Amino acid sequence: MRVDLNSDLGESFGRYKLGLDEEVMKYITSANVACGWHAGDPLVMRKTIRLAKENGVEVGAHPGYPDLMGFGRRYMKLTPEEARNYILYQIGALYAFVRAEGLELQHVKPHGALYNAMVKEEDLARAVIEGILDFDKNLILVTLSNSRVAEIAEEMGLKVAHEVFADRAYNPDGTLVPRSQPGAVIHDKEEIAERVISMVKDGGVRAINGEWIELKVDTICVHGDNPKAVEITAHIRKKLEEEGVKIVPLRDIIGRIQHDHTQSNL
């Protein structure tokens, strides 16, 4: 069994510091780096990419709504043309720093409200996917496990990584419980680890109402912006490895799946 650990990083801005990037980076295999619209700035972007390089962590773009004040967690109504070009713009901005550091871009993971809106709005999902394809058809889209977004992306020829969330509660339909609701975020590291192991080994988890929901798992999101982020991330990795799960970058997982599929058709 193989799985990727990803985290949303590079979300500081100017003199405002957010997250524990230096410590969290030691335990993950893929970093989603903010592109300057919901968070991040040119100095933070380059610093984060250098940090990823030093730790052997793969880099992905983390584009969001143009909403610094709301940290990209407020819904915005976009036309397909706006969405497509907003995504292309942000990927391009981050890639300038990725290339300057001699790295390659591995994936794209939309942020916050944009990520959630794509699950509900097919036109928005298609526009975002078109923006990614405009830049590089070999990029991997990180999206909510078993969502319609994943199906659309695969139909449009984009590689997909099914993502689950270590510290978030799920609705029975597989969507995340909104942060505004009680119990949406889980804080106990033992409970988080148990849920992650269930997702990876059993292929699912209990929803907030107790119902069992099935999940595909290529990558696990661990949040780096709370005081216990480092402790929780280290604990998750330790427990997974104790269960015989290898922690590897998305490139290894998605590439292996594609290779195996090709071989089976020979």
Least reliable range by pLDDT among 174-183, 185-194, 257-266: 257-266
Nearest to 57 by CA among 45, 46, 65, 49: 49
| Cα 39 to Cα 9: distance, rounded to the nearest angstrom | 9
pLDDT value at position 28?
97
- pLDDT above 70 covers a percentage of the chain that reads 95
Given pLDDT bands bounded at 50, 70 and 90, which one contains residue 256?
Answer: low
- Cβ contacts of residue 213 below 8 Å, gap of 6+? 170, 172, 173, 174, 204, 205, 206, 207
226 vs 244 pLDDT, higher one: 244
The CATH class, in words, for 2-252 is alpha beta
Mean pLDDT over 239-266 rounds to: 72
Mean pLDDT over 72-95 rounds to: 98
pLDDT value at position 261?
35
Question: Which residues face 247 on adjacent strands?
Answer: 3
Give the model confidence (pLDDT) of 220-234 as tens digits: 999 877 778 899 999
Predicted confidence (pLDDT) at residue 263 exceeds the cutoff of 70: no
Query: 182 near 164, Cβ under 8 Å?
Result: no
Give the model confidence (pLDDT) of 48-57 as tens digits: 999 999 999 9
Mode of pairing for the β-strands spanning 212-214 and 204-206:
antiparallel
Give the model confidence (pLDDT) of 102-132 as tens digits: 999 999 999 999 999 999 999 999 999 999 9
In the chain, where the domains are located: 2-252
pLDDT value at position 179?
86
Q: Which amino acid is at 149?
A: V
pLDDT value at position 224?
75
- pLDDT above 90 covers a percentage of the chain that reads 89
Mean pLDDT over 200-212 rounds to: 95
Mean pLDDT over 39-68 rounds to: 98
Q: What is the model's pTM?
A: 0.93
pLDDT value at position 31?
98
Mean pLDDT over 239-243 rounds to: 97
The DSSP code for 148 is: H
User: In whole numbers, what is the pLDDT of the chain averaged over residues?
Assistant: 93
Query: 35 near 45, Cβ under 8 Å?
Result: yes
pLDDT value at position 223?
83
